[in-house]
Amino acid sequence: MSRWPAIDELAADVKSGKIKAVELVKQSLKAISDNQEFDAIISTLEGRALDRAAQIDKQPAGRLAGVPFIAKDNFLTLGGKTTAASNILRPFEAPYQATAIEKLEAEGAICVAKANLDAFAHGSSTENSDWFVTKNPHDKTRVPGGSSGGSAAAVILDMAPFALGTDTGGSIRLPASFVGAVGVKPTYGRVSRSGVVAMASSTDVIGPLTKTATDAALVLDVMSGRDELDSTTIEKAEASYTDLDFDWSGKKIGVIKEYMQEGLDAGVKAVIEGSIEKLKSAGAAVEEVSLPSLPLALAVYYIVCPAEVSSNLSRYDGQRYGYSAKDAKNLDESYELSREEGFGAEAKRRIMIGTYVLSSGYYDAYYKKAQTVRTKIINEFSEAFSKFDFLVGPISPTPAFKIGEKTADPLKMYLNDIMTVAANMSGNPAISVPAGLAGNLPVGLQIIAPMASDHQMLAAAKAFEDLG
Amino acid sequence: MSKLSRDDVLKLAALSKLRLSDDEVEKLRGELSEILSYVETLNQVDTTGLEPTYQVSGLKNVYRPDETKDYGYKVEDLLKNAPATQDSQFKVKRVLE
């Protein structure tokens, strides 16, 4: 595999005519074809990508001129199918593209392929994909994490300089940590979700997976901002995220006590403690801080997420798009059979849990209670950020686990998200930055930043990379 | 209340428009009971004086002008994924027998 240069250099070389966008797309397609054994990719958009590259080569322009990328297959894209790795969307061809894709294309980027995920992004390993399980590039017997596991593996396998993921409970950061990529979960509302298959709308965010924080900053910069097609998008205060000047001296860093306790893998713990020492040596003031409600975020998440999933998946009714059962006798039977045959086990599980917690008589006890505990979590974050510039900790209690190790027990699988979900419930930006190895497996450092401080977080991530 | 009965699961399936097989009903009965027992740990959390948070962006009432806008989509493209159409509309099975 050949490595990609920094994205801004690549775009500059395309604009100066030193390299051709068509060659870059071919390089990307070759890396995809050479690494099929990892099952990172569901489909390529070869025809459309090569056509676009040829167009761009005639008059190269834009901050991402000719740069190939890979989108998780829950982004609507033209030129092929969008399946969300689910049987029910197997035949689906999007009639329009996600705003994020449109914004990247407007700067000259080229979507080359669609990456594997847990179906509808429900999972932490890609084992819930209705297609296949993606293998971890560092160890083929292990998962790449999920749900954006295909995107994360694709970046490490040099299939493209960047990939897009979605993070509802940790789905960008967990795979980034498991494969050794940079994975950004921006502030809630930072990037438009228009044209992305909805999971849990109150926590879904879109972000980049890359090799470096510098590349991630450029991609996030292009994608972010208000969009009239997604009324939850927020204003961006900064002109750009790409200036990443940063100094650790005087910065106050809180190490989240609840994430460093028993149950943490010894190898992961060693990497995180080593990272903390580096931050201290660089001049940061590092202290332990307790946010006692953070571990509750998982239980909150597994009420709020299925509730929103059950609502968002009600649109798959077999009548307008997606799989439709052929031998139904009437409309009601058509709904029931299309959904029964089209949805996988995890989607059904979440629809059922969501329907339960939202049903009359249970709503207050589950959904409302969870949203109230959510307030408690938000308050603890606010208090912590009144004293600290950043909070740090691990992404996950363990490095990448074995394929099949947790599939028999859904609750055990859910527990992978215990250290990532809090930032989704609160909306804070968070990032996974490669921090070292536990044995031969990568471990990411999680940096959580105050609301809307995506730029500062990216600068800190870059500065952490520079500590080596 | 965390141990679901078979009837509970069937009722949820009906509300969810899922026609589950017998095997699925039995499997989900166990799995859902276990997941609900886990999330019920929140009942022990003191939330006195706190209000629920339903969204975190801080935005309120995001309006746009009430005007039609042409996004350039063609009707046939928007209908191309439908299993059945007629006269530029979705065609569904009979509702009343």
pLDDT tens figures, B28-62: 999 999 999 999 999 999 999 999 999 898 898 99
Contact residues, B window 18-77, toward A, CB-based 8 Å cutoff: 18-20, 24, 28, 31-32, 34-36, 38-39, 41-43, 45, 47, 50-59, 62, 64, 71, 73, 77
Residues forming a β-bridge with A182: A210
Residues with Cβ within 8 Å of B46's Cβ and at least 6 positions away in sequence, in order, are none
Write out A175-236 in H/E/C secondary structure. HHHHHCCEEEECCCCCECCCCECCCCCCCCEEEEEECCHHHHHHHHHHHECCECCECCCCCC
Whether pLDDT at A1 is above 60: no
pLDDT tens figures, A432-463: 999 999 999 999 999 999 999 999 999 999 99
Query: Given pLDDT bands bounded at 50, 70 and 90, which one contains residue B7?
Result: very high
pLDDT confidence of residue B19: 96
Whether pLDDT at B2 is above 70: no
The ranges assigned to domains in chain A are 7-223
Percent of the residues in chain A that have a pLDDT greater than 90, as a whole number: 97
What domains does chain B contain, in order, with CATH numbers?
Answer: 6-44 (1.10.20)
Query: Given pLDDT bands bounded at 50, 70 and 90, which one contains residue B95?
Result: confident
> Which one-letter DSSP state was computed for residue A159?
S
| CA–CA dist B5, B28 (Å, integer) | 10
pLDDT confidence of residue B96: 79
Mean per-residue pLDDT, A265-292: 98
Whether pLDDT at A402 is above 90: yes
Touching check for B95 and chain A: CB below 8 Å?
yes
Q: How many residues does chain B have?
A: 97
Selecting from A329, A345, A372 the residue whose C-beta is nearest the C-beta of B51 gives A372
User: Complex ipTM above 0.85?
Assistant: yes
Answer whether A421's CB lies under 8 Å from A401's CB: no
Which strand (E) or helix (H) includes residue A163? strand A162-167
The position carrying tokens 């991630």 is: A216
Query: Given pLDDT bands bounded at 50, 70 and 90, which one contains residue B3?
Result: confident
pLDDT confidence of residue A391: 98
pLDDT confidence of residue A407: 93
Cα B9–B11–B16 angle (5° rounding)? 90
Which strand (E) or helix (H) includes residue A438? strand A430-438
Which is the catalytic residue, given A86, A125, A148, A171? A171
Does the distance separating the beta carbons of B17 and A410 come in below 8 Å?
Answer: no
The position carrying tokens 């879904």 is: A204
Q: Which CATH number does the domain A7-223 belong to among 3.90.1300.10, 3.30.9.10, 3.40.50.920, 3.10.20.70?
A: 3.90.1300.10
In chain B, what residues touch A234 (CB-CB under 8 Å)? 57-59
Query: Given pLDDT bands bounded at 50, 70 and 90, which one contains residue A2?
Result: low
| CA–CA dist A85, A87 (Å, integer) | 7
Selecting from B42, B71, B78 the residue whose C-beta is nearest the C-beta of A299 gives B42
Burial of A239 from C-beta contacts in 10 A (0-12 / 13-18 / 19+) = exposed
Question: How many other CB atoms sit within 10 Å of the CB of residue B96?
Answer: 5
pLDDT tens figures, A148-159: 999 999 999 999
Mean per-residue pLDDT, A195-202: 97
The position carrying tokens 């706190």 is: B50
Whether pLDDT at B1 is above 60: no
Give the pTM: 0.97
pLDDT confidence of residue B18: 97
Which residue, among A120, A118, A97, has the nearest Cα to A312 in the 3D structure?
A120
Selecting from B42, B59, B82 the residue whose C-beta is nearest the C-beta of A296 gives B42
Answer whether A446's CB lies under 8 Å from A392's CB: yes
